[in-house]
Chains A and B, each alone.
Chain A
Amino acid sequence: MSMDDEIRALRTSVALAAGDHVTCLRVEGEGAYEALDHVVACDLFLQDGQMRPSLLLDEEARPFADIHVARDDESFFLLAEGPSPEALVAFLKEHFPAGVEATVERCDGTLLSLHGPYAWELCTTVLGPDVGSLPYLAFYRTDSGVFFRSGKTGEYGYDLLIPTGEVDAVREALVREGAAFDLAHASLPALEQCALENGFFNIRREGRAGLSPLELGLQWRVSYRKDYVGSAALRARREAGAKARVVWAVSGAPVSEGDEVFLDDQRIGHVLAVGFSVIRGEWVALLLLDRPYAYAGIDRYEARSAGERRPIRTLSAPLINNRSLYVSPQRHSYRGRDESKMSPFVLPS
């Protein structure tokens, strides 16, 4: 199956993906909250069973890991992308404050993920209504796994942590029941393309460009009210003011990572990430633009690549009018869907 087909399935029905790129850790102990509060960049405002997206920063305030932190009673789950599991555990152990009792362990089990406007329905069918009715950024734990409702595609998304011994059976059940949902498999590049189209941060791409949450537009994932790894550097960068900011753009012609962005003859930034959107039928790009130019809704910029000039148009993410916005587990079903009544993926701007 081509990546285009994977993405079409993810945007219209359900796609199943492996979760090898995500590390799941469990932090426990009397001092679990205190230890995590000292390393995680956001305020840990979490009720039991809730999760929130945040970051682990390095001392220079650059993203080290893209995380979801979830509170399970007095313990925590950490779903992290970016560093290897070993590097992640070492980072936490190094930065947990001394004298605080907290243990970090990799969770037993294998991660699978489901994405798509009807992912909830497949979850209900295979894993039961408690999983299917999970609200966004919540998780549910049973003896047969931990089920996180997260996702970075703009669609209903579930990270399923399944005991390794049972993962084949669960995968088989998902594939079997998934047939009625036209289930497809989605590769990591497909997930990343969907993340780009929906304005989700990708640590393997723009996350490695040496930028801080200020330039990356991720201040909503960090706190300025507490101290943690990288907080001092982040404050200093905020005082100094960000010189550039990320902006999303589309182009009818191919643009490439690293292309320079111009307004007339003035260089105003460059392309951080790019991919062809089969849903929009054009190229979508993440730009890093100088602050005075970093706005959505402008069609005067150009990307220059190998001497070629390609007009680009900046716009506000998300770039997809996701079907998941309109599909409700309480009212709809994949079988009863009416394609003719669906909102278009791209709204006129």
Chain B
Amino acid sequence: MEAGLSIAITGMGAVSALGASTSALWSAIEEGRDGIRPIERFSTEGFSVSLGGMVPGAGSGDLCVEFATTAAREALANAGVSIGPGGVEERRVALVLGTSLGMHVDGLHLVAAEVSRALGIEGPTLTLSTACSSSTNAIGLGRDLLEAGHCDVCIAGGTDELTPEIFSGFHALGLLCPSKCAPFSEPVGTTLGEGAGFLVLERGSEARARGARVLATLLGYGLSADAYHPTTPDPTGAGVARALRGALLDAGTAADDIDYINAHGTGTMANDAAEYRAIEQVFGERVARLPVSSTKSFLGHAQGAAGVLELIATLCGMAQGKIPPTLHYEKARPRSPADPVAGDRPRVARVERALCNNSAFGGANAAVVVGRAEGVTPRQTKAELLILGASAVGPHGMDLDALGAALAANVPLRRRAPAFRIESLIPTADGRGMDPASRYLSAAAALALADAGVTLRGAKRERAGLFVGTTRASTESEREFRDSIRDRGLVRLSATAFTRMVLNASAGTCTKLCALKGPTTTLTTGEGSGLVALIYAAMHLSTRSDVDLLLAAGVDERVSLEFEAHEGEGAACLVLGKDPASDASIAKAVRLSGFGLAGPGDVEQASRLALRMAGLDAKTVVVAPSITPVLGPAPATAAMFACAFAVTSILRGTSEHVLVPDPGGTTAAAVVFSRKGAA
């Protein structure tokens, strides 16, 4: 498939504090009614805040799944898409779900798995988890999946439930507003919310061919890492500005062509100031007359679902020729939007193109551009991808030779990844309070960069990013978090540990320590997460002109406390670059020649796709050995250890082409590595 296809948004569905449908959401905005109420689902006794944007009439089951299923069904119906006999083939429908942490610490991917099951989706099912920018990023990944031809219809969005733990964590961090949140105004602080939203995405030509009503075109998206702090945004706004610029470049639009910005606008002091700084940097003088509003004043901060719900509000407005206002805005904070669209009624204005931004813990920013496709410059065609460096930190030790030796010996190691000081690998890094997952990932990234012979300097850092696959937050931090609740109660839980409960916490630390300021994401598919992150990195890198390098990694931290448990852990990382490499001194001779994604368990299909892309026959490739018998089960990293091993064996001349397949948890994946120049 070619890059630069136009991706149509053909359906949307929303469950939010404003009600269980898109029309409920928009009619409340039309009438200036917010959905913020005293929380009744759990006790807020002992807290200084009692408000939340809760979904009215929510049941008592798994709310993440309930919200998501309802919203996704509405989106499909809205698009006129049916799945299964008479409709789109089950295996050609993908689900990309963005979610923060919810109640699913043991398997965040299970939410998406249940939603897919409920809707009859049998294609790739991916979970994006970059905290509060999750669903924004999920929509971007949905676009990439369609462009790469991994599906024909993609349902992309997000879901999150407001749990007592999340409420307590935000409360402990002092981020909650005592009254209804008033973005860019007084009082400061956010109000948490919940819900789910989904878009139906299709390739534009196919959508038009089936006579679908196109709501808008998904023009582009941008991701960036703040590389600054676990919870505080870079106050200079530089991180958010990189995501905004990335989205504009990807969309082929100039800043001048944006008519409206739907801001993250949480209401917190740090977010609103940094975000507006970024908007000022990107839009220059135009900020004086650019409408910038925050829908959180209606919905509360719906966490992982925030981005998609706010995008839906934006799209509803565009359809009506209106801009959703910022509610509760009375007194401007210094240095806040010149035009916050203050008021309790949408403003009548024609919006051809809108930009929506979200930011998250871990410094993960995501922005999307939607609107009319006319006048948009098509994106560049795909580049070939090279593996510039590799690393593996695990029970075998910290180098690739040791991994090879351990695999050759074929004896279960039954031990943890080695202890090491992070300063020995990254001299400028302060290792204070890093949990094992962050240490493994940062070490693997530093070693992979060293293996690639890459020193990131100056602006190059903004063109280098990190994509991570993992299945859960650090188990050590998770224990610290649970213990703090058990010993001190929810009101006094450990704020430090709370900030590490997001799945992208280790990626956030790693981007900071390694100064990776380009695109960043964290995803999970259960088993095989690391391999899927590699494939996402490959799709992303090959279609963008603003990124030179992407590090793709898997990371796992042991769950068992038993010393000799046969449980793998650690991190493995590959450095992906484009051919021709931007830096001529880099000359590693391995190509990422093919990759494929398929529905859960369908590893044959994923392998077929990868081989077809590589132009190879199954007989000409060697299949990488399973590392699990030796290192122990490491759900996210096992296949990435195999990738690191495969790259080494090609460099040594042992093999020409190596296939790494993984049946995966919710998505099967396969990649093929080839010696550069091999037939």
Contact = CB atoms under 8 A, between A and B. Distances in A.
Q: Do A and B interact directly, with beta carbons closer than 8 Å? A: yes
Interface of A: 33, 37, 43-48, 71, 73-74, 124, 129-130, 133-135, 140, 328-333
10 contacts: A33-B427, A45-B429, A47-B228, A47-B512, A73-B458, A124-B335, A329-B334, A330-B272, A331-B269, A333-B334
Given A47-B512, A73-B457, A133-B277, A332 B334 contact: yes
A71 B457 CA distance: 12
B457 A330 contact: no
B515 interface: yes
Interface string B186-211: 10100000000000000000000000
The 5 closest A-B pairs by CB, nearest first: A45-B430, A330-B269, A330-B273, A133-B235, A73-B458
A129 B455 CA distance: 31
Given A133-B237, A331-B186, 10 more contacts: A47-B227, A47-B428, A48-B515, A129-B335, A130-B277, A134-B235, A328-B269, A330-B272, A332-B334, A333-B334
Chain B interface SS verdict (over half)? loop
Contacts of B273: 133, 329-330
A44 B428 contact: yes
B540 interface: no
Which of A46, A73, A124, A332 gathers the greatest number of chain B CB atoms within 10 Å?
A73
B515 A129 contact: no
Contacts of A134: 235-236
Question: Which of B237, B427, B429 is packed against the most chain A CB atoms within 10 Å?
Answer: B427
A333 B277 CA distance: 17
A42 B272 CA distance: 35
Contact of A45 (B237, B272, B280, B428): B428
B578 interface: no
Nearest to B281: A130
A206 B457 CA distance: 40
A297 to B, nearest CB: 28
A310 B460 CA distance: 62
Contacts of B274: 133
Nearest to B232: A135
A266 to B, nearest CB: 41
Contacts of A45: 423, 428-430
A71 B428 contact: yes
Given A43-B423, A71-B428, A133-B273, A331 B333 contact: yes
A329 B333 CA distance: 10
Nearest to A135: B235
A282 B69 CA distance: 69
A191 to B, nearest CB: 26
Contacts of B335: 124, 129, 329-330
Given A73-B458, A329-B334, A330-B273, A133 B236 contact: yes
Nearest to B335: A129
Interface in B324-381: 333-335
Contact of A331 (B235, B334, B428, B429): B334
A43 B428 CA distance: 8
A117 to B, nearest CB: 14
A43 B431 CA distance: 11
Contacts of A44: 427-428
Interface string B273-299: 110010010000000000000000000
A44 B429 CA distance: 8
A324 B228 CA distance: 23
Contacts of B272: 330
Nearest to A34: B427
A331 B237 CA distance: 17
Contact of B427 (A37, A47, A331): A37
A43 B422 CA distance: 13
B623 interface: no
